[in-house]
Every structure is written in structure tokens, then in C-alpha cells.
Amino acid sequence: MNIRRLKKELLIFGAVVSVILTARSIFLEPFRIPTGSMIPTLMIGDFILVNKMEYGLKVPFVEYFSDPIYIKEFDRPRRGDVIVFKFPSDPQLSYIKRIVGVPGDTVEIRNKVVYLNEQPLKTEEFDGKDIMYDMDQQYKYYKFNFFQAHTGGHTHVIQQNDDNYYKIDFDKVTVPSESYFVLGDNRDFSSDSRFWGFVPFKNIKGRAFLVWFSMIIPLRDEKFKIRPYRMGTMVDEISYPEEIMKRREKLGPISH
């Protein structure tokens, strides 16, 4: 074997790996959605991309072993952004939720209605039968109500379980400086700021913006299924029932 050629190939391979890892650290990072806390916006088995430059340019690799260092900060996180962040109690875990309260906001929940700065968030209930058709197996037998919600500049869908009364109220809190109050869109099946507190800005990895692949892996009585109609959808544009339903009718699921 030609030693010089081997060294050259190793250098090229090392350079490619370095570029990929640097890009992952600075620009984009892929994640897979493992739980149902963000249904129906994000389904179990969705593969997403996170824009790590959304809120600023960071020094590469630093966030893997300490707090991130920003070379330049851009816009701060906004109400309604779907973010991926290090779980405050265990930074080794990555969580994904929607920002509801930003620094200085007051947040309160009364009978499952979210009040932001003393005003209820605007919602409109609608028939979610099309969402139930595509619901993950473990949630298919719950009685859900579906609402078109408006959080900041974002329009999205939340679902609530009529039979779940565990966390219908939440006492008013003021969001501290450099922190955010987050909720899951699957309101009655989400571990979020109602239970463990605020998300520090330093814990935020970036904003989820794209579903690039979606697949159900068989568990219990589920079947393997690829959801082609979810591929290539922007997180901010996933607005049930119209857009996704049209794509599903056109492309359909691939099941085996």
C-alpha cells in the first residue's frame, strides 16, 4: 500500500469530518422527535433540522462542554418559536418545546387557558378528525380537543385531553431575565415549564425549522410507516388541517 496515498486519504477524510462537525456545531443540527409532547406540530418519528445560528454565531464546539460563547448575537428568541434546548436539570438531554413567555412576561393558566400578560392567548377550536387519523398509536384513544392557537407571530395547533385534569391551572409567574417559559403543543402530555421551571437562554441550542424525514418504527401494535407528506415541511408552516391534509392526500403514507 502506498503510504503517501494513505496519508492523503486520511487527511481528506479528516478534513471532511471536521467540516461536518463544525457545520453541525455552528449552523445546523439534526434531531429525531422521540416523544409526543409537541403533537400535532411534531409527530413521534419526525426528523428535524435545527438552525443553530438563529439567535447568534457561536464559537464552535464550546457548547458541548460548557456554556456557549457568542461571537455575535442576533435576534433573541420570540414568543411562538419552537426551540431545542439542553434540559436545565440534565444538560445531557435535549428537549423541544414552544416558547410562550419571554423575559418580563407574566404567565398564568386558568382552566387550561394560557394568560400572557393578563390576556388570554387567542385560540379557535376546530374539528380535528383528520389529525386523529394520523395520531400516534399511544394517543389514538384519548378524547382530544383541537385549537388553532396564536402565540406571538406564530399560528399553530394545540391539543388538549378532556379527561385530563392534572394540570388545569398554573399560578402566575414572571419570566426572569435571560429565561423563557415553554410549553408543549400536546398540552396534557408534556413535561415543560409548568413542572420544572424556566429555560435559560444559555441552554438554547437553536430553533427547529424543518421536518426533513418522518418514519414510525414499529412498537407494540404499530406498523412501520413512512410519512412522505411530512417531509420537507417547515415547522412554522405546519398548520392543521389544510396543508398537511392536502399533502397526505397527494403523497399518502408508505406502510409495510
Catalytic residue IDs:
37, 97
DSSP assignment of 22-71? HHHHHTEEEEE--SSTTTTTS-TTEEEEEETTSSEEE-TTGGGTSS--EE
| Preceding amide of 40 cis, omega within 30 | yes
CB atoms within 10 A of CB 41: 26
**CA-CA distance, 150 to 166, in Å (whole number)?**
24
Burial 139-160 (b: 16+ CB within 10 A, else e): beebebbbbbbebbebebbbbb
**Cα(236)–Cα(47) distance, rounded to whole angstroms?**
15
